[in-house]
Amino acid sequence: MEETEAEAMLRGQADIWKYMFGFADSMALKCAVELRIADIIHSHAPTDHMITLSQIASHLVAPSPDITCLTRIMRLLVRRNIFADHHPSEGGEPVYGLTCSSRWLLHDSEMSLAPMLVMENHPSLMAPWHYFSQSVKEGGPSAFKKAHGLEIWDFASENPGFNKLFNDGMACTSRIVMKAMLTEYGHGFDGVGSLVDVGGGTGSAVAEIVQAYPNIRGFNFDLPHVVATAPAYHGVSHVGGDMFEDHIPNADAVFMKFIMHDWNDSDCIKILKNCRKAIPERGGKIMIVDIVLEPSGDGLLDDTRLVLDLVMIAHASGGKERTENEWEKILKEGGFPRYKIIKIPALVSIIEAYPV
């Protein structure tokens, strides 16, 4: 039956109410992570993997936890399918268990999103979102700088606690992406004898690649003060330099993960041109691990990818996520007329681009 105008307006009202209080989902999730509810269930539940709220509360680091408050928060998280609940037919307390969603909140899991969730919901990273309308009206520096007077990297250097929070969040995301990439993209390293990770930080990503493909000689390229603190990895050489200058080490292939989205188009083209000089014209390639937006896409992660483009407005200065057409434009101008996009089960895709 066709929806009436009144029904359509009610649905529209319901949507506005939902988005108005969208932050409540994030805050409830943050609360669950800070209280380590998923960890408590995972560690202390009996063989049926479910546990009562009283049992959860008994493991909280708190002298007198408010069970009523916890009940109300868990009720929403159950409705969001973050946790599962079961109400015994014979009465008694409901019991709670993990779902496929809450397993991503386990702190001790190698594949945990808990550090990223805490990071993105930190007050310092939430404040810039309140400056979006000002950013539209004025342009200028990032919303982060409007909120704090400093760009995010300068803010992190002056606030060690925030810097650790930020690094932990980035590291957990990197682990998830690297696992998906190495599982689904093994063929991409066929025939690669040497690989330079441009903007590779302390070298963990290229080290993982070299460990999986010992025939590859790895180079980790980043600013001198970054590589100065990098640990030694078998098969990896650390090289200090600036990707905006013509000093990228020569290799069969260039690897860049979560780099290009931090920069505007003209800066990306400069980086690409320098990468182009570092690889052979025949057989050389660049591997970009980054988001490809599909604004009309209906995939599991397409909506989140669009949100992450707004994260770039909030936190980066000039950075953005790009559609395939936007990628094609900067790749061609940067010296890579041919490319292909390889999808993997992650937020990112792999963009392979070739100089000829």
Q: Which of 104, 134, 161 is the last residue of a domain?
A: 104
Q: For 6-47, write each residue's pLDDT tens digit.
A: 999 999 999 999 999 999 999 999 999 999 999 999 998 776
3-state DSSP assignment of residue 354? strand
Number of independent structural domains in the chain = 2
Q: For 247-290, write each residue's pLDDT tens digit.
A: 899 999 999 999 999 999 999 999 999 999 999 999 999 999 99
Q: What is the CATH number of the domain that holds 9?
A: 1.10.10.10
Question: Residue 84: which domain range?
Answer: 5-104
342: Cα separation from own chain's centroid: 18
What is the model's pLDDT at position 90? 84
Q: Which of 50, 70, 104 is the last residue of a domain?
A: 104
pLDDT of 48 higher than 80:
no
Q: Are 221 and 248 in contact (CB under 8 A)?
A: yes
119 shares its domain with 73: no
From 42, 148, 238, 261, active-site residue: 261
* Average pLDDT value for the chain: 95
335 shares its domain with 189: yes
74 shares its domain with 179: no
- pTM reported for the whole predicted model: 0.91
308 shares its domain with 179: yes
128 shares its domain with 262: yes
| C-alpha span between 58 and 53 (Å, rounded) | 8
What is the model's pLDDT at position 92? 85
**What is the pLDDT confidence band of residue 216, given thresholds at 50, 70 and 90?**
very high
What is the model's pLDDT at position 280? 97
Please report, in angstroms and rounded to a whole number, the separation of the first and last CA atoms in the chain. 56
81 shares its domain with 119: no
CA atoms within 13 A on the CB side of 71: 8
Q: For 172-197, write each residue's pLDDT tens digit.
A: 999 999 999 999 998 899 999 999 99
Q: Which of 87, 104, 121 is the last residue of a domain?
A: 104
Q: Are 199 and 210 in contact (CB under 8 A)?
A: no
32 shares its domain with 175: no
261 is catalytic: yes
Q: What is the CATH number of the domain that holds 327?
A: 3.40.50.150
Q: For 117-144, write each residue's pLDDT tens digit.
A: 999 999 999 999 999 999 999 988 899 9
167 shares its domain with 280: yes
